[in-house]
Amino acid sequence: MREVSELNRYLVVNQNIEPVVATGAGAEVFDEDGRSFIDLEGGPGVASVGHCHPKVVAAIKSQADRLLQVPGRYHSRLTLTLAERLSALTGGRLTRTFFANSGAESNEGAIKASLKHAFNTRKQGYGIIAFDHGFHGRLCLTSALTGISKQKRGMGTFGTFPGIAHVPAPYCYRCPFGAKPDTCGAKCADAVADAIKTRVPGEAAVMIAEPILGVGGVIVPPDTYWKKVGDILHSYKVTLIHDEVFVGFGRTGKWFAHDWYGTQPDIVTFAKTIGGGVPLGGFMATETLGTAFEPPDHFTTYGAKNQIGIAAAHAVLDVIEGERLLERAASGGDRYMKNLKAIQKKRPILGDVRGKGLMIGIEIVEPATQAPVAEAAKKIEKGLVERGVLISTTGVNGNILRITPPLVITDAQIDRSCEAIDAALAEATDS
């Protein structure tokens, strides 16, 4: 068998590392030698119903025998009924869906619809508000929206877009205003109003934000933050897009993460989980935003026409509902938090543990100063691989270990992975 290092030279430079994953089932994957690994990345965030769930596999196989791709502009009942099911998950508030192929495309389409709505309502400006630390994809517009500068270095004007103003994320552990956790959220919410008044060119048209930030380091806002921001946006008639690409469809213990905060976004974007491992994304919109486009304004070759992805999505929703994975995400998250908080008491290198459901971040720090330590986080990641656990490091400072496993992860797998985390933390501390 040829060495991976030899084959990897045929790919554009990438961040992939070993092991070489060959198969998967549930919350585990297996390498070419049959060694098992508990998957705390989940895709990342894709395999929420587990790797190769039998119902998803069966739906894909069955659809492959009938139709792979709808030609041109014609309807598919499978697609129409999926859009109806998605609307029902929002209580019928978001009535229209556009299907795309990825989270980045979904976010670009949502911004495009919002700007068309701003034009239709005669806004005197097209300002876009986004978060520092936020992540929305790696296309040109979504790179510009992303508040992580290291992802844009050396690319010239790629990743720039007129009218974008970034505002501080409610990162209470490292509050941008130096405030205490009980006041950080209010100060960060006020910063949105300040940006609308001072930094957005003309009138603000739209704000796009993850309700809980994923790639930025699992930043969980205070409970009162989104209510205040929602009131500010409503007063200025600014469209709110919640990017639920990572946190949507049960990961936090509710169908959508914004359900924890009571916000009423005009658009919700989605991807990852919904395809069960097959590329699919899209955005759901209110009737007003969902009818902003004229028929030729927006289209994609696949998306709604990709019947493999649409069939997989139906199966994913069936599994989440039938296996009560929202409840499982909540109970699994509680178990992780209990275990990790216990580890934190004896491992001062673990500066913060935060999350909702099975969306958890562990912040690796210098104990004396609480300064972020990316090198230690990478060493812990490597130590976990050696112990049969896959995890990713993320965040602007590269010091966050992110736990986003399949929602079907068992209690035994949670406990085993926590034992591995404890051992890897101890090794990093002792060296």
Clarify whether residues 312 and 329 are in a common domain. Answer: no
Last residue of a domain, one of 254, 288, 322: 322
Co-location of 284 and 339 in the same domain: no
pLDDT digit string (tens) for 34-66? 999 999 999 899 999 999 999 999 999 999 999
Query: Residue 226 is part of which domain span?
Result: 58-322
Residue 4 pLDDT grade (very low, low, confident, very high; cuts 50, 70, 90): confident
Provide the CATH number for the domain around residue 390. 3.90.1150.10
At 186, the pLDDT band (50, 70, 90 cuts) reads: very high
Of 301, 322, 343, which closes a domain? 322
Task: Name the phi and psi angles at 302, rounded to 5.
Answer: -95, -115
* pLDDT value at residue 14: 87
pLDDT given at position 373: 97
Residue 431: per-residue pLDDT: 63
Is 4 part of a structural domain of the chain?
Answer: no
In the numeric block, which tokens belong to residue 162? 């007129």
Distance in angstroms (rounded) separating the CA atoms of residues 280 and 70: 15
Mean pLDDT of the chain: 96
333 and 214 belong to one structural domain: no
Q: Tell me: the pLDDT tens digits for 286-296?
A: 999 999 999 99
